[in-house]
């Protein structure tokens, strides 16, 4: 019998609604691995889900949050080959990652090469896969294009700057002044967050919504693409913003607007998410990507982990470590 600890969102609310429960780790079902977790990322999405402000599907509490995990396979489903046992893997889990043991479909698990650090790999699934999808698949950024990134000091923002530089794009990162040095470490040009007009760009990646989304659309050069992927601004309204994107797309001209949601891709095209994650793992192993870790917090202190992840002075990924 293997004992499991897992973080539970008992009800929506502040960090204190989080509890750590102990029970027996279930044996994996067919097609699944049980992963002994060594690091699990805390994402903005986890905080929004806990607070009841996530603009998408959320399990009804009580549930265990957690989008990204790395760890070691310690049990396999009845139809899964034993050779998976002992392998180090990383996966996008959507929920259930904040635990000492997580259940992962074998089809979603990406093996880590021998020397790759598990903690660095735990930063990849949600933030880096989203950034990769936005740049490569949705906006189809070409070398030399001007790309404007809102929320550039955040997890997805820094991942966009990191991958955009590899693509050969001219990256511009919008952030508060205190984060301009961070934006520069990713080879991007910092842009002040509250400036009246945005620089013109071929591609704008917008996680704020509302008035920011309107400014993003106005800043597009001919042939430009706006991709919205969040509603962090307090005055953003998902239905209104999505309607705006549709209306803008119907206008004459060659500018385009789209919305992207990784969870929808993960449900419809898990093969693509895995292929992207595998590519990112390879690039991380080659030293081409630079995920940043803000803090490592014991799994038994989930409220502290959420507070650190919510602190604008702590930049980088907060990892829960069982
Ligand atoms: N659609 C998808 O598939 C997808 C995937 C991943 C994430 N997301 C969404 O993308 C957003 C960012 O995620 P993340 O993990 O990068 O979060 P994060 O690490 O918390 O970073 C958010 C960044 O945005 C800035 N910010 C916050 N409110 C802002 C506003 N109103 N205007 C401009 N900038 C603002 C923050 O700066 P300060 O801290 O200085 O305020 C911070 O730098 C979240 O809404 C998340 O749910 C969507």
- DSSP labels for 228-265? E----STT--HHHHHHHHHHHHHSSSS-EEEE--HHHH
Q: Which residue's CA is the closest to the ligand 1 atom numbered 8?
A: 230
Residue 230 CB less than 6 A away from ligand 1:
yes
pLDDT tens string 176-234:
999 999 999 999 999 999 887 899 999 999 999 999 999 999 999 999 999 999 999 99
Residue 147 CB less than 6 A away from ligand 1:
no
CA distances from 37 to 66, 96, 157, 278 (A): 11, 11, 26, 19
Q: Pull the structure tokens for residue 301.
A: 């202190």
Closest among 136, 309, 159, 311 to 225, alpha carbons compared: 136
Mean pLDDT (whole number) for 282-307: 97
In this prediction, residue 300 carries a pLDDT of 98
User: Which residues face 28 on adjacent strands?
Assistant: none
* DSSP result, 23-66: EEPPPP-TTEEEEEEEEEEE-HHHHHHHHT--SS--PPSSB---
**Which alpha helices (H) appear in the chain, and where do they start and end?**
44-51, 118-121, 129-132, 155-167, 180-185, 211-218, 238-250, 262-268, 270-285, 302-309
Between 1 and 73, the more confident residue is 73
Peptide bond just before 176 cis, omega within 30 deg: no
Sheet holding 170-175, edge to edge: 189-192, 170-175, 146-149, 201-206, 220-228, 256-259
Mean pLDDT (whole number) for 91-107: 97
pLDDT > 90? residue 52: yes
In this prediction, residue 195 carries a pLDDT of 81
Q: Pull the structure tokens for residue 82.
A: 């034993």
Q: How many Cα atoms are found within 13 Å in the side-chain-facing hemisphere of 293?
A: 17
Residue 190 CB less than 6 A away from ligand 1:
no
Q: Which residue's CA is the closest to the ligand 1 atom numbered 21?
A: 154
Q: Give how far the C-alpha of residue 160 lies from the chain's centroid of Cα atoms, to the nearest Å.
A: 11
Q: Pull the structure tokens for residue 203.
A: 């591609």
Residue 125 CB less than 6 A away from ligand 1:
no
Contact 25, 101 (CB under 8 A): yes
Query: Ligand 1 center to residue 236 CA distance, Å?
Result: 13
pLDDT tens string 150-177:
999 999 999 999 999 999 999 999 999 9
Contact 312, 147 (CB under 8 A): no
Average pLDDT, the chain: 97
Q: How many Cα atoms are found within 13 Å in the side-chain-facing hemisphere of 8?
A: 12
In this prediction, residue 114 carries a pLDDT of 86
Q: Is the pTM of this model over 0.85?
A: yes
Residue 242 CB less than 6 A away from ligand 1:
no
CA distances from 292 to 123, 286, 289, 314, 318 (A): 8, 16, 10, 11, 9
In this prediction, residue 197 carries a pLDDT of 85
pLDDT tens string 77-86:
999 999 999 9
pLDDT tens string 237-270:
999 999 999 999 999 999 999 999 999 999 999 9
Run of H or E residues at 171: strand 170-175
In this prediction, residue 196 carries a pLDDT of 79
Closest among 188, 162, 190, 189 to 177, alpha carbons compared: 190
Q: Which of 41, 44, 312 to mutate to test the pocket of ligand 1 (most atoms within 8 A of CB)?
A: 44
Contact 171, 189 (CB under 8 A): yes
Q: Which residue's CA is the closest to the ligand 1 atom numbered 24?
A: 151
Q: Pull the structure tokens for residue 215.
A: 């400014």
pLDDT > 90? residue 115: no
């Amino acid at each position: 019998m293997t004992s499991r600890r897992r973080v539970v969102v008992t009800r929506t609310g502040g960090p204190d609604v989080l509890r750590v429960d102990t029970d027996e780790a279930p044996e994996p079902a067919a097609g699944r691995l049980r992963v002994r977790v060594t690091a699990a990322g805390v994402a903005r999405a986890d905080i929004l889900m806990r607070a009841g402000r996530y603009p998408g599907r959320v399990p009804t509490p009580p549930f265990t949050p957690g989008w990204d995990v790395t760890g070691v396979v310690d049990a396999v489903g009845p139809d899964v080959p034993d050779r998976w046992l002992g392998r180090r893997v990383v996966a996008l889990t959507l929920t259930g990652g904040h635990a000492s043991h997580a259940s992962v479909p074998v089809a979603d698990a990406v093996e880590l090469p021998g020397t790759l650090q598990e903690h660095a790999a735990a930063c990849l699934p949600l933030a880096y896969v989203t950034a990769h999808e936005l740049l490569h698949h949705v906006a189809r950024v070409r070398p030399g294009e001007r790309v404007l990134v809102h929320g550039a000091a955040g997890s997805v923002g820094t991942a966009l700057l990191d991958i955009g530089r590899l693509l050969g794009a001219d990256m511009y990162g919008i952030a508060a002044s205190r984060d301009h040095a961070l934006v520069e470490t990713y080879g991007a040009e910092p842009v002040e967050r509250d400036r009246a007009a945005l620089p013109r760009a071929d591609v704008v990646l917008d996680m704020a919504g509302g008035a920011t989304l309107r400014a993003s659309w106005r800043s597009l050069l001919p042939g430009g693409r706006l991709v919205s992927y969040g509603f962090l601004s307090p005055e953003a309204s998902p239905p209104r913003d999505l309607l705006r994107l549709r209306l803008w797309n119907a206008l004459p001209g060659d500018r385009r607007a789209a919305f992207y949601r990784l969870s929808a891709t993960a449900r419809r095209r898990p093969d693509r998410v895995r292929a992207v994650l595998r590519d990112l793992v390879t690039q991380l192993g080659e030293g081409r990507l630079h995920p940043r870790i803000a803090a490592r917090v014991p799994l038994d202190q989930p409220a502290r982990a959420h507070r650190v992840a919510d602190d604008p002075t702590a930049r980088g990924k907060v990892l829960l470590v069982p």
